[in-house]
Every structure is written in structure tokens, then in C-alpha cells.
Amino acid sequence: MQKPTLPKGTRDFGPEQMRKRLFIFDTIRKTFQRFGFQPIETPSMENLSTLTGKYGDEGDQLLFKILNSGDFAAGLTEPDLAAGSKKITPKIAEKGLRYDLTVPFARYVVMNRNDLTMPFKRYQMQPVWRADRPQKGRYREFYQCDADVVGTDSLLCEAEIILMIHEVFRNLTIQDFTLKINNRKILAGIAEVIGVPGQEGTLSVAIDKLDKIGKQKVLDELRERGFPDDTIVKLEPLFSFDTLDANRLLDQLTNWLSESETARQGIFELNETLQLVHQYGLTDSRVEIDPTLARGLSYYTGAIFEVKANGVSIGSVSGGGRYDNLTGAFGMPGLSGVGISFGVDRIYDVMDELALFPASSGQGTQVLIVPFDREARAKALPLSSELRLAGIAAEVYPDLVKVKKMLDYANARGILFVVLIGSEEVQTGILSLKNMVTGEQHMITAEELVNRLR
């Protein structure tokens, strides 16, 4: 018999991991809700016509496709076979697994456009699938937690996203993080001012690598990509900004990019957003303006956000930005929105590495009841009901076995308290409560037990 295995790039989550993950999900969900975001869920499968062409050629290849049901190969011919996999795919697969939550959200908005109240604030916490090559920290199935507001271009939304990021990480007790913020219009302005208007895409791809490869190699890459030498010289100020003083940085950007109307608009938006954040009363802000932040640009047209935890070398744990044309691909142009995505897997890694999970998040059952015999069990059962009624997670060891075996179970499961019921306890009605960590044991009434554990 073959031993069962997992498909590569996928994972099981055991109880301890799950409890920690649920703590993260719960924290994010509650924060989203407090800010008025509403939950939606979309199906795991989408028509390939919905997904294809939205993530570039590379993305299309990373889509998991679902074989049509029934006699899928009936229409396949020898010439099809000769034409190869790419040509065969659309004939045998109509559906694919969602690749992110953004495209399904766009589809949802378009299909429900007549019923949605704008501005529409939604959040969505579901797994996505990518046929990426698995490697450390990269999986083929992982969760995204997205919140977006569409149908308004108010900068209040940018400000609220900044607040929400602070609240999520503080509620997770990740105190030490940096929230970098930029604006696509500033990047566009830089491209204009140095003399390569419209080429902020190429510029960003190179600049995105600054942390990894350093300034010199970024400039080399730009040169290779056809940026004339004089444009590269003009880029110099970008590498010498003081990113720790927001006002000073905004002044420097204003001076440098004064010729560009687009840049001025971007700087205005950035400044206005930070003013609003200040009005909301955010204290101990972790916001840092970074005019090199691009996040691959993709569909961002305004604000760009990225969050990293300090003190660990784990990539970004959250990112997002404003876009102008979420639903254009589905025939509904001009819908503006701004969103943020939290990466649960990386947040988990950060919290694990920094030992930030509260003890209670790893905890399952609070108390195990250990009856020594049948008679004791008759006392154990109503006691367990009483505890559960009080909201306490309680178990009765189901088999009548040696007491040591039951205590071993409590230890292995990490159950802190054990209630021992032997003949003495049956007679007196007083219970024996044992703390499995300290070993302390003392007598207690059922009522005291409930009050203590509640």
C-alpha cells in the first residue's frame, strides 16, 4: 500500500498552527468590521474567461485549470494533439482556481452593479491558488485577506487604510513595523522630470530592487534598458532623501519635481492623506514616505502601500494601493478604489519568529476531567456539562484507563488543568484540581472551579 502524500506546495495545518492562524484571521476580521467593511465570498472556481489575461502571460501560466467533467476529450482531435498543451487547454478546461481576490471582486462588482450601494466597502478572506514553483515561504495555496473601497476617490479612504493597518498590527501585538507609502503620480513625475515620460514602469521595476542589489546595479539596469546617461544623472536626488522626516521629504520632492504637474498632484495627495491621518488622531505613526516604493506598480494609479515587520527578514506582510480601473476588463470603466491585502502566512511567520502569539491563542481545551471509575464518571459527566454551559472548553477522558495515561494525555495536549475524581471525591463532592505545569493540587468545589476557569 502506497503511503499517502500531499501535493507539493500544499500544507496541512495541525491544531496548534490552526489556533494561531484563527487568532490572526479573527483579529483582521474584527478590524475590517470596525471600519465598516462588509464580508463577501466568491467561489473558488471562476470561468477561465474571467481569469485569463488579467495577470500577464506569466500569471496565466500559473493558473490552476480544472478539467471539464464528463467526456472532456470527446472533441479532441489528432491535430489538437499536435498543436500542443496550450491549444488543448481551452478545449478541455473551462474553469480555473482563483489566483487572487481582486479579479473575482471586480467580477462580483460588475455582476452586482445594480444592487450595490456605492461607495462599496468589502472585505474578503479566502485562499488563492498559484502553480508557482514551491519554495520556502511560498505555497501553491495560501490565504489573502483583502479590504477595498470602490466608488469613491476620497483620500479619506487612503487615510482609513493607514489607520486600519496600524490597528491590525497593534492588535496582533506586532508593534514594530514600517508602513511605507508612495504615490504612482510621484513616480510618473520622476520619469517626466528626468526625461523619460511614461516610463515609470521600467523605472520602478529597477528601483524595486534597490534594497537587494544596491544603487549602482539599479542604475546599470536602467542604462541597459535604454535610459540615456543624462536621465540617470538626474535621478541622483532620489537616493539621498531623508525618509524619516515626512515634511522635509515632501519639500524636497516638491522642489525636485516642480516642473511636473502630475508629481505635484501626487505630492498633494500624499500630504493630504497624512494630514487626514493626523486628524483621525493616530498616535505613534509608523508611516514613512518612500518615493522609490513601487510594488511592481501593476494597476496602481495613486497611493501605494507596503508594510514590513522590523527585526525579522521576512518580506512584506501587507500591501495595496489605489487603482482607477478595477472593472474595466469587464466592461465597466472608470471605477476608482483603494485596497489593502494582508498576507496571513507571512504574518504568522513574523509572529512565530518574534514569539508574539499570546498563550491563549495556542490553547484549546482548558480542563480535562479524569474519572477513576464508572462511579466517578457519573459525577464527571454533569460536571463537564456545567463547565461547557459556562463557556469553558472541557473534556472528559472517554475511556476508563489508568490515571497516568489520562494525565499523559493532558500533558501531550497542553491542557493546563485536570480535575481528578476518585472515590473520595465521589463521597465528599469536593473535586481535586491539578495544575499540570506547577504540579500544584488542591481541593475545590464545582462552583469554585467554574468561577476560576471562566
Dist CA 117 CA 288 (whole Å): 34
By CB under 8 A, tell whether 49 contacts its own copies: yes
Q: Which stretch binds its own copies (CB under 8 A): 186-194, 221-229, 232-240, 395-403?
A: 395-403
What minimum distance in Å lies between the beta carbon of 47 and its own copies?
Answer: 6
Q: Are 338 and 118 in contact (CB under 8 A)?
A: no
Cβ distance to its own copies smaller for residue 12 or 230? 12
Phi-psi domain of 311 (left: phi exceeds 0; alpha: psi -120 through 50; beta: other) = left
Comparing CB distances to its own copies, the nearer of 411 and 428 is 411
Instruction: Decide whether 119 or 195 has the Cβ nearer to its own copies.
Output: 119
The span from the CA of 39 to the CA of 24, in Å, is 16
* Of positions 53, 56, 61, 225, contacts its own copies by CB under 8 A: 61
* Residue 14 phi, psi dihedral angles, 5° rounding: -80, 175
Would you say 142 or 227 has its CB closer to its own copies? 142
163 within 8 A of 282, measured Cβ to Cβ: yes
- Does 434 contact its own copies by CB under 8 A? no
Q: Say whether residue 391 binds its own copies (CB under 8 A).
A: yes
Strands (E), 79-215: 93-97, 120-129, 141-150, 177-183
Neighbours of 252 (CB within 10 A): 16
Show the site string, 396-425: x = touches its own copies by CB under 8 A, - = not: x-xx---------x--xx------------
SS3 assignment, position 421: strand
Contacts of its own copies in 354-383 (CB under 8 A):
364-365, 377-378, 381-382
Sheet containing 431-435: give its strands across. Answer: 394-396, 367-371, 417-421, 431-435, 441-444
Nearer to its own copies, 78 or 224 (CB): 78
With binding defined as CB under 8 A, does residue 18 bind its own copies? yes
Cβ count within 10 A of residue 277 = 21
User: Interface with its own copies includes 23 (CB under 8 A)?
Assistant: no
Stretch that binds its own copies, among 86-94, 237-245, 260-268, 423-431 (CB under 8 A): 86-94
Residue from 50, 144, 183, 301 touching its own copies (CB under 8 A): that is 50
Residue listed under C-alpha cell 472515590: 423
The CA distance from 48 to 319, in Å, is 26
Q: Of the two residues 293 and 449, which places its CB atom closer to its own copies in the complex?
A: 449
Angle at 32 between CA 26 and CA 38, to 5 degrees: 110
Of residues 188-207, which lie at the interface with its own copies (CB under 8 A)? none
Judged by beta carbon, residue 307 or residue 369, the one nearer its own copies is 369
Q: How far is the CB of 42 from its own copies (least distance, A)?
A: 5
DSSP H stretches of helix in 195-260: 200-207, 210-224, 229-234, 246-256
* Residues belonging to the chain: 454
Q: Which is nearer to its own copies, 107 or 434 (CB)?
A: 107
Least distance CB 243 / its own copies (angstroms): 26
Residue 218 Cβ, how far from its own copies at the closest point, in Å? 33
**The only residue of 57, 230, 240, 281 in contact with its own copies, by rule CB under 8 A:** 281
What is the number of other CB atoms lying within 10 angstroms of the CB of residue 403? 14
Of 202, 83, 164, nearest to 338 by C-alpha is 164
DSSP 281-319: T--S--EEE-TT--TT-TTEEEEEEEEEETTS----SEE
Among 52, 152, 202, 298, binds its own copies (CB under 8 A): 152
Smallest CA-to-CA distance from 362 within 378, 373, 351, 347 is with: 351
Q: How far apart are CA 123 and CA 145, in angstroms?
A: 7
Place of cell 464527571: 380
Closest CB 383 distance from its own copies, rounded Å: 9
Q: Which one of residues 25, 52, 59, 66 is an interface residue with its own copies (CB under 8 A)?
A: 66
Q: Among 57, 58, 114, 117, which residue sits at the site for its own copies (rule: CB under 8 A)?
A: 117
Min CB(45)–its own copies separation in Å = 5
* Residues of span 88-107 touching its own copies by CB under 8 A: 88-89, 92-95, 97, 107
57, 58, 85, 447: residue in contact with its own copies (rule CB under 8 A)? 85
User: Interface with its own copies by CB under 8 A: which range of 79-87, 199-207, 211-219, 262-270?
Assistant: 79-87
As measured in angstroms, the least distance from the Cβ of 55 to its own copies is 15
